[in-house]
Amino acid sequence: MRTRLRFAAFALALTSVGTACTHAEILLFIETTTPTRDVLSDDELLRLRMCESTDNYQAVSPSGTYRGAYQFDQPTWNGVAERHFPWLVGMDPVDVNRWWQDAMTRALWSERGRQPWPVCGKRV
């Protein structure tokens, strides 16, 4: 129950800080992220994100292969999206809102643990 309340407060906060989320988008986010929401805490996500991109959701590796705060390559991003969030397939991680990058990371972690992040995953 406490997690639900915390998450509801988070969703309301998102709308109050000027995001362009509609009620339907907020409900979609809550509904689709519930299964993996508790896989990583916010603190664990921050540690992973700081290591991967110094907390930069628009980070791009020098080669251009790895993108976003958690440095997804496009094939991995698309694979996770197909299984969890189909509307994100084909989208560039740097163009996706931060909460979807976090949700994608939690989804991938739920499937493969720290394996996709061999160095930074050890900090989680």
Is pLDDT above 70 for 73?
yes
**What's the average model confidence in pLDDT over 116-121?**
97
The answer regarding whether domain 2-123 maps to CATH 3.40.50.410 reads no
Is pLDDT above 80 for 43?
yes
**What's the average model confidence in pLDDT over 90-99?**
96
Please tell me the predicted confidence (pLDDT) of residue 15: 43
**What's the average model confidence in pLDDT over 27-37?**
55
Is pLDDT above 70 for 38?
no
Please tell me the predicted confidence (pLDDT) of residue 2: 55
Please tell me the predicted confidence (pLDDT) of residue 32: 53
SS (H, E, C) the chain: CHHHHHHHHHHHHHHHCCCCCCHHHHHHHHHHHHHHCCCCCHHHHHHHHHHHHCCCCCCECCCCCCECCCCECHHHHHHHHHHHCHHHCCCCHHHCCHHHHHHHHHHHHHHHCCCCCCCHHHHC
Give residue limits of the domains in the chain: 2-123
Is pLDDT above 70 for 20?
no
Please tell me the predicted confidence (pLDDT) of residue 28: 53
